[in-house]
Amino acid sequence: MKFFIDTANLEQIKEAQELGILDGVTTNPSLMAKEGISGHENIINHYKKICDIVDGDVSAEVISTDFEGIVKEGEFLASLNPQIVVKVPMISEGIKAIKYFSEKKIKTNCTLVFSAGQALIAAKAGATYLSPFIGRLDDISSDGLTLISEIREIYDNYNFETQILAASVRHTMHIIDCAKIGADVVTTPLSAIKGLLNHPLTDSGLKKFLEDHKKSNS
Ligand code: E4P
Protein backbone atom coordinates (compact mmCIF):
# COMPACT_ATOMS: atom_id res chain seq x y z
CA MET A 1 0.00 0.00 0.00
CA LYS A 2 1.28 3.46 -0.91
CA PHE A 3 1.35 6.22 1.73
CA PHE A 4 0.57 9.76 0.62
CA ILE A 5 0.51 12.75 2.98
CA ASP A 6 -2.58 14.96 2.76
CA THR A 7 -1.24 18.46 3.33
CA ALA A 8 0.35 21.48 1.67
CA ASN A 9 2.54 22.13 4.75
CA LEU A 10 6.17 21.90 3.60
CA GLU A 11 7.57 21.10 7.07
CA GLN A 12 5.17 18.18 7.49
CA ILE A 13 5.92 16.93 3.99
CA LYS A 14 9.67 17.05 4.78
CA GLU A 15 9.13 15.20 8.07
CA ALA A 16 7.15 12.43 6.34
CA GLN A 17 9.71 12.21 3.52
CA GLU A 18 12.53 11.85 6.07
CA LEU A 19 10.73 8.89 7.64
CA GLY A 20 11.47 7.11 4.36
CA ILE A 21 7.99 5.71 3.83
CA LEU A 22 6.36 8.48 1.80
CA ASP A 23 5.09 7.72 -1.71
CA GLY A 24 3.41 11.02 -2.57
CA VAL A 25 1.38 14.08 -1.59
CA THR A 26 -2.23 15.17 -2.06
CA THR A 27 -3.32 18.77 -1.82
CA ASN A 28 -6.61 20.54 -2.38
CA PRO A 29 -7.65 24.22 -2.49
CA SER A 30 -8.62 24.17 1.20
CA LEU A 31 -5.23 22.74 2.24
CA MET A 32 -3.43 25.39 0.12
CA ALA A 33 -5.53 28.15 1.70
CA LYS A 34 -4.77 26.77 5.17
CA GLU A 35 -1.06 27.38 4.47
CA GLY A 36 -1.83 30.94 3.28
CA ILE A 37 -0.85 30.13 -0.32
CA SER A 38 -2.82 32.35 -2.70
CA GLY A 39 -2.40 33.85 -6.17
CA HIS A 40 -1.55 31.86 -9.32
CA GLU A 41 2.22 32.32 -9.14
CA ASN A 42 2.50 31.45 -5.45
CA ILE A 43 0.35 28.38 -5.91
CA ILE A 44 2.46 27.15 -8.83
CA ASN A 45 5.71 27.80 -6.93
CA HIS A 46 4.32 25.89 -3.96
CA TYR A 47 3.61 22.83 -6.12
CA LYS A 48 7.18 23.04 -7.45
CA LYS A 49 8.55 23.15 -3.88
CA ILE A 50 6.49 20.07 -2.92
CA CYS A 51 7.80 18.20 -5.98
CA ASP A 52 11.36 19.05 -4.93
CA ILE A 53 10.83 17.51 -1.48
CA VAL A 54 9.19 14.21 -2.45
CA ASP A 55 10.02 11.56 -5.03
CA GLY A 56 6.46 10.43 -5.79
CA ASP A 57 3.20 11.73 -7.21
CA VAL A 58 1.86 15.15 -6.16
CA SER A 59 -1.85 15.85 -6.70
CA ALA A 60 -2.63 19.43 -7.77
CA GLU A 61 -6.33 20.29 -8.03
CA VAL A 62 -7.95 22.27 -10.84
CA ILE A 63 -10.35 25.11 -10.01
CA SER A 64 -12.25 25.13 -13.31
CA THR A 65 -15.50 23.18 -13.58
CA ASP A 66 -15.96 23.23 -17.38
CA PHE A 67 -14.22 20.82 -19.77
CA GLU A 68 -12.12 23.43 -21.61
CA GLY A 69 -11.04 25.10 -18.38
CA ILE A 70 -10.14 21.81 -16.68
CA VAL A 71 -8.10 20.71 -19.71
CA LYS A 72 -6.25 24.05 -19.94
CA GLU A 73 -5.45 24.12 -16.22
CA GLY A 74 -4.59 20.42 -16.09
CA GLU A 75 -2.23 20.54 -19.06
CA PHE A 76 -0.43 23.51 -17.50
CA LEU A 77 -0.16 21.80 -14.09
CA ALA A 78 1.09 18.57 -15.69
CA SER A 79 3.74 20.53 -17.61
CA LEU A 80 5.29 21.77 -14.33
CA ASN A 81 6.76 18.41 -13.34
CA PRO A 82 6.24 14.75 -14.31
CA GLN A 83 5.31 14.10 -10.66
CA ILE A 84 2.16 16.21 -10.94
CA VAL A 85 -1.17 14.37 -10.96
CA VAL A 86 -4.10 16.52 -12.10
CA LYS A 87 -6.84 16.37 -9.48
CA VAL A 88 -10.26 16.65 -11.09
CA PRO A 89 -13.66 16.77 -9.38
CA MET A 90 -16.21 14.00 -9.94
CA ILE A 91 -18.58 15.94 -12.19
CA SER A 92 -19.58 15.20 -15.79
CA GLU A 93 -17.19 17.83 -17.20
CA GLY A 94 -14.48 16.36 -15.00
CA ILE A 95 -15.12 12.86 -16.32
CA LYS A 96 -14.81 14.12 -19.90
CA ALA A 97 -11.52 15.78 -18.96
CA ILE A 98 -10.24 12.61 -17.23
CA LYS A 99 -10.94 10.66 -20.45
CA TYR A 100 -9.06 13.32 -22.42
CA PHE A 101 -6.09 13.31 -20.00
CA SER A 102 -5.98 9.53 -19.99
CA GLU A 103 -5.63 9.50 -23.79
CA LYS A 104 -2.82 12.09 -23.48
CA LYS A 105 -1.09 9.94 -20.79
CA ILE A 106 -1.55 12.71 -18.18
CA LYS A 107 -2.04 11.26 -14.68
CA THR A 108 -5.31 12.12 -12.90
CA ASN A 109 -6.85 11.85 -9.45
CA CYS A 110 -10.66 11.89 -9.51
CA THR A 111 -11.68 13.62 -6.29
CA LEU A 112 -14.83 14.10 -4.19
CA VAL A 113 -16.00 10.51 -4.69
CA PHE A 114 -18.77 9.28 -2.41
CA SER A 115 -20.40 6.33 -4.21
CA ALA A 116 -19.56 3.09 -6.02
CA GLY A 117 -21.33 4.37 -9.13
CA GLN A 118 -19.04 7.39 -9.27
CA ALA A 119 -16.04 5.07 -8.84
CA LEU A 120 -17.17 2.91 -11.76
CA ILE A 121 -17.54 5.91 -14.08
CA ALA A 122 -14.13 7.34 -13.11
CA ALA A 123 -12.42 4.00 -13.80
CA LYS A 124 -14.12 3.70 -17.19
CA ALA A 125 -12.86 7.21 -18.03
CA GLY A 126 -9.32 6.03 -17.18
CA ALA A 127 -8.55 7.87 -13.93
CA THR A 128 -5.11 7.01 -12.53
CA TYR A 129 -6.31 7.47 -8.94
CA LEU A 130 -9.77 7.59 -7.38
CA SER A 131 -10.29 9.46 -4.11
CA PRO A 132 -13.25 8.22 -2.03
CA PHE A 133 -13.61 10.51 1.02
CA ILE A 134 -14.14 8.05 3.85
CA GLY A 135 -14.04 10.49 6.78
CA ARG A 136 -16.66 12.79 5.28
CA LEU A 137 -18.98 9.77 4.79
CA ASP A 138 -18.42 8.73 8.41
CA ASP A 139 -19.19 12.33 9.43
CA ILE A 140 -22.74 11.99 8.06
CA SER A 141 -23.30 8.57 9.69
CA SER A 142 -22.58 6.69 6.47
CA ASP A 143 -19.77 4.10 6.21
CA GLY A 144 -16.65 5.15 4.34
CA LEU A 145 -14.92 1.78 4.71
CA THR A 146 -17.88 -0.09 3.19
CA LEU A 147 -17.50 2.14 0.14
CA ILE A 148 -13.79 1.22 -0.14
CA SER A 149 -14.76 -2.51 -0.01
CA GLU A 150 -17.42 -2.06 -2.71
CA ILE A 151 -15.01 -0.24 -5.02
CA ARG A 152 -12.29 -2.87 -4.42
CA GLU A 153 -14.74 -5.61 -5.44
CA ILE A 154 -15.90 -3.74 -8.56
CA TYR A 155 -12.38 -2.88 -9.72
CA ASP A 156 -11.18 -6.45 -9.15
CA ASN A 157 -14.17 -7.87 -11.08
CA TYR A 158 -13.11 -6.00 -14.20
CA ASN A 159 -9.35 -5.57 -13.64
CA PHE A 160 -9.66 -1.78 -13.67
CA GLU A 161 -6.20 -0.24 -13.26
CA THR A 162 -7.46 2.88 -11.44
CA GLN A 163 -5.84 2.95 -8.00
CA ILE A 164 -8.11 3.37 -4.98
CA LEU A 165 -6.68 6.30 -2.99
CA ALA A 166 -8.55 6.38 0.32
CA ALA A 167 -8.91 10.07 1.27
CA SER A 168 -10.38 12.10 4.10
CA VAL A 169 -8.63 9.73 6.49
CA ARG A 170 -9.10 10.79 10.10
CA HIS A 171 -7.12 8.34 12.22
CA THR A 172 -4.83 5.32 12.34
CA MET A 173 -7.63 2.72 12.34
CA HIS A 174 -8.83 4.09 9.00
CA ILE A 175 -5.34 3.33 7.62
CA ILE A 176 -5.29 -0.22 9.04
CA ASP A 177 -8.82 -0.97 7.82
CA CYS A 178 -7.99 0.38 4.35
CA ALA A 179 -4.91 -1.88 4.27
CA LYS A 180 -7.07 -4.90 5.24
CA ILE A 181 -9.58 -4.13 2.48
CA GLY A 182 -6.82 -3.61 -0.08
CA ALA A 183 -6.92 0.11 -0.88
CA ASP A 184 -3.97 0.84 -3.16
CA VAL A 185 -3.10 4.14 -1.44
CA VAL A 186 -4.07 6.07 1.68
CA THR A 187 -3.59 9.80 1.96
CA THR A 188 -3.48 10.93 5.56
CA PRO A 189 -2.48 13.75 7.87
CA LEU A 190 1.03 13.37 9.33
CA SER A 191 -0.50 12.71 12.78
CA ALA A 192 -2.19 9.52 11.55
CA ILE A 193 1.03 8.23 9.94
CA LYS A 194 2.96 8.93 13.15
CA GLY A 195 0.18 7.34 15.19
CA LEU A 196 0.96 4.02 13.51
CA LEU A 197 4.41 4.06 15.11
CA ASN A 198 3.18 4.18 18.68
CA HIS A 199 2.63 1.38 21.18
CA PRO A 200 2.98 1.68 24.98
CA LEU A 201 4.68 -1.75 25.15
CA THR A 202 7.34 -0.52 22.70
CA ASP A 203 7.99 2.51 24.94
CA SER A 204 8.14 0.52 28.21
CA GLY A 205 10.17 -2.27 26.57
CA LEU A 206 12.76 0.15 25.21
CA LYS A 207 12.98 1.98 28.54
CA LYS A 208 13.73 -1.34 30.32
CA PHE A 209 16.32 -2.42 27.70
CA LEU A 210 18.18 0.88 28.05
CA GLU A 211 18.04 0.76 31.88
CA ASP A 212 19.39 -2.82 31.95
CA HIS A 213 22.16 -1.90 29.50
CA LYS A 214 23.12 1.09 31.66
CA LYS A 215 23.20 -1.05 34.86
CA SER A 216 25.46 -3.71 33.37
CA ASN A 217 27.75 -1.20 31.66
CA SER A 218 28.35 1.29 34.47
C1 E4P B 1 -7.51 14.40 -0.41
O2 E4P B 1 -7.25 14.23 -1.56
C3 E4P B 1 -8.72 15.10 0.04
O4 E4P B 1 -8.80 16.35 -0.53
C5 E4P B 1 -8.72 15.16 1.54
O6 E4P B 1 -8.34 13.90 2.05
C7 E4P B 1 -10.02 15.64 2.14
O8 E4P B 1 -9.94 15.46 3.53
P9 E4P B 1 -10.94 16.18 4.56
O10 E4P B 1 -12.27 15.51 4.47
O11 E4P B 1 -10.28 15.97 5.89
O12 E4P B 1 -11.01 17.63 4.17
Three-state DSSP class for residue 4 = strand
Bridge partners, residue 5, by sequence? 25, 188
Does any ligand 1 atom lie closer than 6 A to the CB of residue 101? Answer: no
**Phi, psi for residue 25 in degrees, rounded to 5:** -135, 140
Nearest residue (by CA) to ligand 1, atom 10, is 168
Q: Which domains does the chain have, with CATH numbers?
A: 2-216 (3.20.20.70)
How far, in Å, is the centroid of ligand 1 from the Cα of 133?
Answer: 7
Active-site residue 105, yes or no?
no
What contacts 144, CB < 8 A, 6 or more positions away? Answer: 132, 133, 134, 135, 136, 137, 138, 166, 168, 174
**Among the options 14, 72, 87, 124, which is catalytic?**
87
Q: pLDDT truncated to tens, each residue of the chain (218 aa)?
A: 999 999 999 999 999 999 999 999 999 999 999 999 999 999 999 999 999 999 999 999 999 999 999 999 999 999 999 999 999 999 999 999 999 999 999 999 999 999 999 999 999 999 999 999 999 999 999 999 999 999 999 999 999 999 999 999 999 999 999 999 999 999 999 999 999 999 999 999 999 999 999 999 99
Does any ligand 1 atom lie closer than 6 A to the CB of residue 170? Answer: no
Distance CA 102, CA 82 (A): 14
Q: What is the predicted pLDDT for the residue at 28?
A: 98
Nearest residue (by CA) to ligand 1, atom 8, is 168
Q: What is the predicted pLDDT for the residue at 59?
A: 98
The pTM for the full model equals 0.96
Q: What is the predicted pLDDT for the residue at 33?
A: 97
